[in-house]
Amino acid sequence: MEFFETVNSRHSYRGPYTDAPVPDADLVKIVEAGIKAPSAANWQTTSFVIVNDPEVLNKIRALAPDIKGLNTCQALIAVVADGPEESPRPGLFFGVQDYAAATENMLLAITALGYASVWTEGMLARDDNARTVGDLLDVPSPKKVRVLLPVGVPAEPLADRGRKPFVERAHWNHWSK
C-alpha cells in the first residue's frame, strides 16, 4: 500500500475481529516499524511485548471485558515505556513522545498489512491495570505498559468517521480565523 493511501485508510477500529491468525512475520514487521520511530536523543525508551498466546490474551481480556477489540483479537502488542526516573538525563524526559511516535508507526504498519487496530490506553489507567498487565507480561518495574494495540482482521467494515477539513485545522504563517 502506498504511504498516503495507508495514512488515508488508517482508522481506529473498535469492533470485533475474525479468528484469522496474524502471522508472526507480520507482527515482527509491525513492531519493527515501532522500533524505527523517532526517539528523543535516540534514547530509544520504548519497548514492546508481542502477545499471541491465547492463555495470556485471555488474562488481559479479563481486565476489560467491555472492549470488543481486545476480546476478539488474535494478537496484541503492548507498548512499554520507561518512566521519568529512568531518563538518561534527570529532569529531561520525552518518553510520552517516544511511545506515541512508535505507536503511530505501528498503527500505519498494521493498516499497510491489511489489519485493523485501535490505540487502547484508557483501560490501562483503570484499577492499576497497567501494572497488572505488566505483571502478566513480566515487565520489570519501573517500566510501564502504556498502550495496547489489538491486531487482527476486522469482522466488520471499517467506518470512516471523517476528519475536519484542512481549512479548519491548518493555518499558513499565522493563526487565521
> Cβ distance 81 to 46 under 8 Å?
yes
The residue whose grid cell reads 505501528 is 106
**H/E stretch holding 76:** strand 75-81
Give the whole-angstrom CA distance, residue 170 versus residue 58.
43
pTM, whole model, 2 decimals? Answer: 0.91
So what's the pLDDT on residue 144?
A: 92
Give the whole-angstrom CA distance, residue 159 versus residue 167.
23
107-152 tens-digit pLDDT: 999 999 999 999 999 899 888 999 999 999 999 988 999 999 999 9
Residue 158's pLDDT band (cuts 50, 70, 90): confident
CATH superfamily of 3-169: NADH Oxidase (3.40.109.10)
Which three three-digit cell numbers place residue 20? 484469522
Q: Where are the domains of the chain?
A: 3-169
63-105 tens-digit pLDDT: 988 888 899 999 999 999 977 666 676 776 777 889 999 999 9
Ranges 29-33, 106-110, 173-177: which has the least confidence: 173-177
Exposure string of 13-30, with b = 16+ CB inside 10 Å and e = fewer, is bbeebeeeebeeebbeeb
So what's the pLDDT on residue 31?
A: 98
> Cβ distance 35 to 88 under 8 Å?
no
Can you give the three-state secondary structure of 24-61, one letter per residue? HHHHHHHHHHHHCCCCHHHCCCEEEEEECCHHHHHHHH
pLDDT greater at residue 37 or residue 90: 37
